[in-house]
Amino acid sequence: MPIVPTSKPKVTIDPLNNANIEANVFSSDLSNYIPSNNLISNNAYIVEKTLEHINDFSREGLRTLLYAYKWIDEKTYNEWAVEYAEAKASLNNRSDNISRVGEILENEFELCGATAIEDKLQEGVPQAIQKLRKAGIKLWMLTGDKRETAINIGYSCKLIKDYSTVIILSIDDGLDEISNKMAAAELEVDAGNVAHCVVVIDGKTLSSLEEDPTLLSLFIALGVKAHSVICCRASPAQKAKMVSAVRELDSSKVTLAIGDGANDIAMIQSADVGVGITGKEGLQAARTSDYSIAQFRYLLKLLLVHGRYNYVRTSKFVLCTFYKEMFFYLTQLLYQRYTLFTGSSLYESWSLSMFNTLFTSLPVLCIGMFEKDLRPSTLLAIPQLYSKGRNFESFNLKLFIMWVLLATSQAVTLCFALWNIYGFNAAFDNTTYGLCVIMFTVLIIIINTKCNILEMHNVTKISFASWFTSVAGWMVWCFLLTALYKTKDSTIFYVTTGLLQHFGKDVNFWGTILILVIIGISIEFLFQTIRYYVWPTDTDTFQVLEKITDIRRQMEFLSFEEMKQGWTWLHESQIIQEEMPNKSDFYKWTYSMRSLIKKGTMGPSKETRKRAGTLVNPTELPPGSPSIVRFNSNSDRFEDEMLPSGKIIRKRNNNEFPSNSGNKKFMKLFKIKEENDENYEDDIEAVLARRRRELGEEL
């Protein structure tokens, strides 16, 4: 029992024999704090006080643990150990056998006491849960803690708000009362009368609901509609069953389970996506999961950034694949009306076989791997943008029909334009092979332009390389076909002499390709303009907003905690490796590091290091520097600004002078140093101090 003093203790000691000790340690009676021997020998009293302490520990959010002991002789233990070893080695009903043998000794224990330890939340858990809630993700907490501990953890991690309506389901109230409470709560949630609803249930109550499928379905329906659910004292099997029940209720919902211990393995494997956290609990959960992270807050970047990117890329990959196939084979269908539907092909057989393999495989792969419709900082700062995946905005029936209509309109327009511009007016050669080369070239240019440039928001060197490889590859292929057909007779396609000797010399041939490409891309722009003004999306809006410097800076500040590691860590490309003969890569890297340290560019200097024990970015600022860095550019009309991500943006200088001559006169009049002067001072206090010294010397 704890002893709490109510006044300052006073102790007097006899210096001779220390025998007379006058102490007024506590002003109150010690019997209020230390129970008598009679009470200590009373088991009921000990159990009652222990349970009271456990409840107090649970309310504080501590993990509780009971200690008990039992004395047994060696013979009894040896006999029990043999049975326990046989139970663990049994092939049938292994868990039941272990429980049965364990109960032989797990009885008549003497209560020793109770203890509690503090289980702190990881860094950034409340903020991560808040952003996940804003993204529209429902959160369930399945834990083995006591109800009081689980509720306290719910408050600390912001799973339960101060204004939340907490509905506690307990088997002690009876199944009828539980059923009425769940039905009433579901009606209140549907009516919108509850601002924030949290359902709390324990493992014992959950076991009773599992025996009645009707009550279980009612609980799952309430849990899906509620904002959060807390299942305390839940076994690993119950955790897995909860995940499976949610998946069976609505197959369109995607479930994600995240855990850090071995008792979460069944739950992780039952979910659509399993995430394991590596840490002090071990690696069991991480090894059996789909994705492994080090901390819970990293789930934000995994879902809001990479999850959205994966959905957008997959959707555009599928849409671009259907688009190019529809666009290509509709031209074949329209050509059949001129051949009485005999099945004659507009395209040469080798080129037809290589359309998907060589000429249009890179654009769909490029957009399916590298597309980023919004910046990661924007997605982390505005979690509501994650709703694009939940609402199926990137791939749905309406969007699919729009892509099909686009491919159909382009195919019909280009085909009839080809017949009328070149087919009936060719000066040299209007055979099938000439029409084949024109249409094939136009298709490849338009498809690659749309997939690699128009549909990709972040057009990079890879996109242009993909476009150039596909288009240039088709040009090279046309010349390779002439060599391939030298030993092969073709009565329809004059491949050997057509391009080099006939229609390749016709100006109308090249002009037709240019006109058809312009027509096809113009139709694409028309569709995109109509879609942008009639059905604008949140993505379109934020793509415009993140180009504004002030808004982009604000987005990066809001997402700095999640993105700071990638923004401040030294990139591999910044490590200079000097050429040294007969040295391995490791020694090259070591030599480069030593060279940088000697030059002062890199090293453990406290003046230039942001984080202890890490590599130093050669361009990073000293500690205490402002987050926003502005410095003059080479032009007087612009100034460069460095954002938190390290990106340098050039902005127009609003304080520029009207002319260079006026600027020089102004600077000379007020004795202002130019920006390239080594003694340039931007501190106003330093400038004033220097001017005082100069005036004093003059006087």
Q: Quick one: pLDDT at residue 60?
A: 74
| Parallel/antiparallel/unpaired status of strands 21-24 and 110-118 | unpaired
pTM: 0.72
Q: Can you tell me the mean pLDDT for 547-573?
A: 79
**Cβ–Cβ under 8 Å, residues 631 and 640:** yes
Identify whether the C-beta of residue 400 lies closer than 8 Å to the C-beta of residue 319: yes
570 pLDDT band, cuts 50/70/90, is low
With bands split at pLDDT 50, 70 and 90, how would you rate the model's confidence at 410? very high
**Residue 72 in 3-state DSSP?**
coil
φ, ψ at 258 (rounded to 5°): -130, 130
- Indicate left, alpha or beta for 233 from its phi (over 0: left) and psi (-120 to 50: alpha): left
For residue 382, the model assigns a pLDDT of 92
- For the residues 118-144, what does the mean pLDDT come to? 88
Structure confidence at residue 56 (pLDDT)? 82
Beta carbons of 147 and 200 less than 8 angstroms apart: yes
C-beta separation of 72 from 108 below 8 A: no
- Over the stretch 451-478, which tens digit does the pLDDT of each residue have? 999 999 988 899 999 999 999 999 999 8
Phi, psi of 697 (to 5 degrees): -65, -40
- Distance of alpha carbon 225 from its chain centroid, rounded? 25
Please give the full DSSP string across 492-551, using - where no structure is assigned: S--HHHIIIIIGGG-HHHHHHHHHHHHHHHHHHHHHHHHHHHHS--HHHHHHHHTTSHHH
C-alpha span between 430 and 432 (Å, rounded): 7
Cα angle 466, 469, 470; round to 5 = 85
Q: Is pLDDT larger for residue 61 or for residue 476?
A: 476
Cα distances (angstroms) measured from residue 377 to each of 502, 537, 540, 555, 687: 56, 19, 16, 6, 39
Classify burial at 406, counting beta carbons within 10 Å of its beta carbon; exposed 0-12, middle 13-18, buried 19 or more: buried
195: helix, coil or strand?
coil
Smallest Cα–Cα separation from 145: which of 136, 134, 135, 156? Answer: 156
* Distance, CA of 524 to CA of 166 (rounded, Å): 53
**Structural tokens at position 199:** 């359902």
Closest CA to 107 of 78, 51, 54, 68: 68
Q: Answer yes or no: are the C-beta atoms of 273 and 281 closer than 8 Å.
A: no
Q: How confident is the model at residue 54 (pLDDT cuts 50, 70, 90)?
A: confident
Residue 121 or residue 492, greater confidence: 121
Does 460 or 572 have the greater pLDDT score? 460
Contacts 24+ apart (CB under 8 A), 20-24: none
Give SS3 for 635. coil
Closest listed residue to residue 442, CA positions, set 343, 530, 523, 350: 523
Res. 195: pLDDT tops 60: yes
Are 295 and 123 spatial neighbours (Cβ–Cβ below 8 Å)?
yes
| pLDDT of 689 above 80 | no
Rounded distance between C-alpha atoms, residue 130 and residue 384, angstroms: 11
Written as one string, the DSSP assignment of 126-166 is HHHHHHHHHTT--EEEE-SS-HHHHHHHHHHTTSS-TT-EE
In this predicted structure, the answer to whether residue 316 has a pLDDT above a threshold of 70 is yes
Tokens 């005036």, residue located? 695
Provide the pLDDT for residue 422.
84
Pairing of strands 197-202, 228-232: parallel
Hey, how many other C-beta atoms are within 10 angstroms of the C-beta on 236?
A: 17
Q: What per-residue confidence (pLDDT) applies to 666? A: 36
Alpha carbon 509 to its chain centroid, in Å, reads 50
Q: Place 231 in a pLDDT band, splitting at 50, 70 and 90.
A: very high
Q: Report residue 201: phi and psi, to 5°.
A: -145, 145
What is the model's pLDDT at position 626?
Answer: 44
Q: What is the DSSP string of 303-367?
A: IIIIIHHHHHHHHHHHHHHHHHHHHHHHHHHHHHTTTTT----SS-HHHHHTIIIIISHHHHHHH
Q: In this predicted structure, what is the pLDDT of residue 633?
A: 52
pLDDT at position 115: 85
Q: Which range among 220-224, 337-341, 537-541, 613-617 shows the weakest confidence by mean pLDDT?
A: 613-617
Rounded Cα distance between 170 and 256, Å, is 27
66 by DSSP, 3-state: which?
strand
Start-to-end C-alpha separation, the chain: 81
Which band of pLDDT confidence, cut at 50, 70 and 90, is reported for residue 528?
very high
* Calpha distance 326→406 (Å, rounded): 10
- Mean pLDDT of the residues in the chain: 78
Query: Is residue 271's pLDDT more than 80?
Result: yes
- H or E element, residue 617: none
Q: Are 619 and 567 in contact (CB under 8 A)?
A: no
Tokens 């909860």 found at:
242
Kindly report the number of other CB atoms within 10 A of residue 578's CB atom: 9
- Please name the amino acid found at residue 72: I
- What per-residue confidence (pLDDT) applies to 685? 57
Please determine, for residue 582, whether its predicted confidence score (pLDDT) is greater than 70.
no
User: What pLDDT does 492 receive?
Assistant: 66
Q: Which of 271-285, 489-503, 683-697 has the highest mean pLDDT?
A: 271-285
Of the candidates 393, 315, 392, 372, the one whose C-alpha atom is nearest the C-alpha of residue 546 is 372
Nearest to 428 by CA among 494, 480, 345: 494
Residue 680 to residue 690: CA distance in whole angstroms: 12
What 8-state DSSP symbol labels residue 383?
A: G
Chain-centre distance for alpha carbon 604: 33
Q: Tell me: pLDDT of 491 over 90.
A: no
Residue 228: closest CA among 175, 291, 157: 157
- Which residues share a beta bridge with 168? 200
Residue indicated by tokens 């206090």? 685
**The pLDDT value given to residue 107:** 85
| Residue 133 to residues 128, 195, 293, 474, 626, Cα–Cα distance (Å) | 9, 14, 20, 50, 32
Query: Which region among 175-189, 379-393, 470-484, 487-501 has the lowest average model confidence (pLDDT)?
Result: 487-501
pLDDT at position 93, please?
Answer: 82
| Res 675 pLDDT > 60 | no
Can you tell me the distance from the alpha carbon of 155 to that of 153, in angstroms, rounded to the nearest whole number?
Answer: 5
| More confident of the two residues 622 and 641 | 641
Grade residue 141 by pLDDT with cuts at 50, 70 and 90.
very high
| Coil, strand or helix at 591 | helix
Lowest-confidence region among 265-279, 547-561, 643-657: 643-657
Judged against a pLDDT cut of 70, whether residue 405 lies above it is answered with yes
Q: Which residue type occupies 183? A: A
**Per-residue pLDDT at 620:** 52
3-class secondary structure, 605: coil
Confidence bin at 665 (pLDDT 50/70/90): very low
Q: Is the pLDDT of residue 602 over 60?
A: no
- % of the chain exceeding 90 in pLDDT: 32
Choose from 144-148, 333-337, 588-592, 597-601 the range with maximum mean pLDDT. Answer: 333-337
- pLDDT tens track for 356-402: 999 999 999 999 999 999 999 999 999 999 999 888 999 999 999 99
pLDDT of residue 691: 62
pLDDT at 520: 94
Cross-strand partners of 197: 165
Q: How far is 67 from 110, CA to CA, in rounded Å?
A: 9
